[in-house]
Structure 1
């Protein structure tokens, strides 16, 4: 029962990380930086910081649950 719940949370975290990574704006300015147009269409800084924090949080949850599930610590019997 506990393993099933952890696997569901793990799968949701995996999908969430994928979605959040796709939502990030590209860091490279490309050729737009040459003319100074790169800063014209950037998003607000607070939205980017919130997106970064959410991405890191879900990444940590995903990695921690990956270690727990692969270690078999939840199915060990005393």
Structure 2
């Protein structure tokens, strides 16, 4: 069960990293479209960091669980 969650988390983490737009940093426009893009990028950053945290916590948990067995 936990290993399946770990695999799903890793797949979603890879996808969220690949979705990031590398050109979004440093763009100076302040119009409505850019604000929407910036908001989507901030949300994607939060999702990515959450997935990273979950991935590392599950990795540590699975590693300690395997040492106990």
The structure 2 residue matched to 1:11, chosen from 4, 7, 12, is 7
Greater helix content: 2
Q: Structure 2: which 5+ runs fail to align?
A: none
Q: Deviations over 1:11-60 (max 9, x none)?
A: 0000010000000011587xxx9xxxx657x6711000000000000110
Q: Structure 1: which 5+ runs fail to align?
A: none
The structure 2 residue matched to 1:65, chosen from 58, 61, 67, is 58
Superposed, which structure 2 residues align to 1:32-51 within 5 Å? Answer: 44-51=37-44
TM-score by length of 1: 0.67
TM-score by length of 2: 0.75
- Structure 1 outlier segments of 4+, above 2 Å: none
Provide the aligned C-alpha RMSD in A. Answer: 2.7
Alignment size in residue pairs: 65
Q: Does 1:25 align with 2:21?
A: yes
